[in-house]
Amino acid sequence: MRFAPVTERLAGLGGAKWAVHAAARARKAAGHPVIELTIGEPDVATPPALLQAAADAMMAGRMGYSNGQGEPALVAALAARYTARRGRVIAPDQIMAFPGTQTVLYAVMQTLLGPGDEVLVGDPMYATYEGIIAATGARMVPVPLRPEAGFRMQAADVAARITPKARVLFLNTPHNPTGAVLRAADLAALGALAQAHDLWIVCDEVYEEMVFDGVPFASPLSDAALAERVIVASSISKSHAAPGFRSGWCVGPAAFTARALPLSETMLFGNQPFIADATAMAVAAASPVAPGMVERFSRRSRLLAATLAGVPGLAVHQPEAGMFALIDVRATGLSGQDFAMALLEATDVAVMPGESFGQALSGWLRLSLTQPDDRVAEAARRIAGFVQTRLAAA
């Protein structure tokens, strides 16, 4: 039987990147005491008020069909939120609601790209980005995010890779997996390149609420000069510890949303009204759980670095935001994949290999900071012992 070309483009870009995580879950199911530092599940329960708002909406009969843009109350709440935060007026016709950031980004790329187009995207990158680009038939052009630049995308590195086929500059700030946060000056330089080469700027800002103290957050949506070419995406998955709600959105120029609406209607024909009502309540005020997560994740990143300080072959890169930290293990001579799998088998500590997030993280590990302090500390001690045992045997 024959299958669509998109299935070939996406072959190997799904669950294959999560092989270590799957192996860890299998070991845990078999009774092993695995410390799981692989995925980014928030470490706090969804706020009760959010659950109650959804339940109240269901009991009030908000269970019918919606529309392709989003429920009016949610669209209005998001327009007000972004108008207040970005320093310029964002109108309701610039908003579209979707089930989660992943669906947002898939729809955005399908609206902007076609076969033969090119997308400039930072390497390393979140594991699903390659797939949402490949699904369109466009080509991903990796832009190395260098450790010496704090993993922040540099305009010169982008400029060196722009060709006449380039259509989209794909940003992620705060960044997963590195925890880097682009500064206003970085965005100004990248915006100037986008203007010079007529590029769209798509920016995943799902970790906006997770910036550590003292680090400024900046968005390309704040620059009025870029208004006709910027689309940002976000959700309540991280900020409100509600990944299962699958409630996200994008903000962009009205010309974009008009083109994206038929695609949204074809894909989904509307989100769930009761979830939209709860989301409207959530985004109208500050998150009650984000500040606590920021404090804990920042503290655990420092704990990890302190525990592994001085261990030969390891170097911890501390994040500026988000729920992950990186460890450079290149000096051990192992790839991230080999290190992660051997670590799991020897110590029952599960971490993600850097190669799952792009070739620029070959020989690195990504660790989730969502486990309690004592579990993070114990994992760090096991990692140190694993490396020291290997060095002694060498």
pLDDT at 14 over 70: no
Contact 33, 348 (CB under 8 A): yes
What is the mean predicted confidence (pLDDT) over 350-377?
95
CATH no. of 5-45+289-393? 3.90.1150.10
Would you kindly state where each structural domain of the chain is located, as residue ranges? Answer: 5-45+289-393, 48-283
Say whether pLDDT at 394 is over 70. Answer: no
Is pLDDT of 347 > 70?
yes
126-155 pLDDT, tens digit each: 989 999 999 999 999 999 999 999 999 999
CA angle 217, 120, 207 (to 5 degrees): 30
What is the average pLDDT value for the chain, to the nearest integer? 95
pLDDT tens digits for range 82-92? 999 999 999 99
What pLDDT, on the 0 to 100 scale, is given for residue 41?
Answer: 86
Query: Amino acid letter at 296?
Result: R
Q: What is the Rg, in whole angstroms, of the alpha carbon atoms belonging to the chain?
A: 21
Alpha-carbon span 319 to 234, nearest angstrom: 20
Q: Which helix (H) or strand (E) holds 278?
A: helix 273-283
Average pLDDT score over residue span 149-171: 98
CA torsion sign for 147, 148, 152, 154 is: negative
DSSP strands (E only) in the chain: 35-37, 95-98, 118-123, 139-144, 166-172, 200-204, 230-235, 248-251, 315-317, 324-328, 349-353, 364-368
User: Measured between alpha carbons, how far is 332 from 7 in angstroms, rounded to an integer?
Assistant: 37
pTM of the entire structure? 0.94
**Contact call for residues 320 and 211 (beta carbons, < 8 A):** yes
pLDDT of residue 70: 96
Q: Is the pLDDT of residue 277 over 90?
A: yes
The CATH number given to 48-283 is 3.40.640.10
**d(C-alpha 361, C-alpha 364), whole Å:** 5
Query: Could you tell me what percent of the chain has a pLDDT over 70?
Result: 99
What does the pLDDT look like over 197-238, one tens digit per residue?
999 999 999 999 999 999 999 999 999 999 999 999 999 999
As a whole number of angstroms, the distance between CA 316 and CA 307 comes to: 10
* Amino acid identity, position 125: M
Q: What is the mean pLDDT of residues 305-329?
A: 96
What is the spatial distance between Cα 280 and Cα 78, in angstroms, rounded to a whole number? 7
Phi, psi (5° rounding) for residue 368?
A: -75, 140
| Confidence bin at 280 (pLDDT 50/70/90) | very high
> What digits encode the pLDDT tens for the residues 169-197?
999 999 999 999 999 999 999 999 999 99
* CA distance linking residue 34 with residue 16, whole number of Å: 20
pLDDT at 330: 96
- Answer yes or no: is pLDDT of 391 > 80: no
Q: How confident is the model at residue 380 (pLDDT cuts 50, 70, 90)?
A: very high
Backbone angles phi, psi at 238, to 5 degrees: -90, -50
pLDDT per residue over 28-42, tens digit each? 999 999 999 998 889
pLDDT of residue 76: 98
Task: Assign 385 a pLDDT band (cuts: 50, 70, 90).
Answer: very high
Predicted local distance difference test score (pLDDT) of residue 370: 96
Helix/strand/coil for 56: helix
User: What is the distance in angstroms between the CA of the first residue and the CA of the last residue of the chain?
Assistant: 52
pLDDT of residue 258: 98
Rounded CA-CA distance 43/323 in Å is: 10
- In angstroms, the CA 105 to CA 132 distance is 7
pLDDT given for residue 389 in this prediction: 87
Report the pLDDT value the prediction gives residue 239, as an integer from 0 to 100. 96
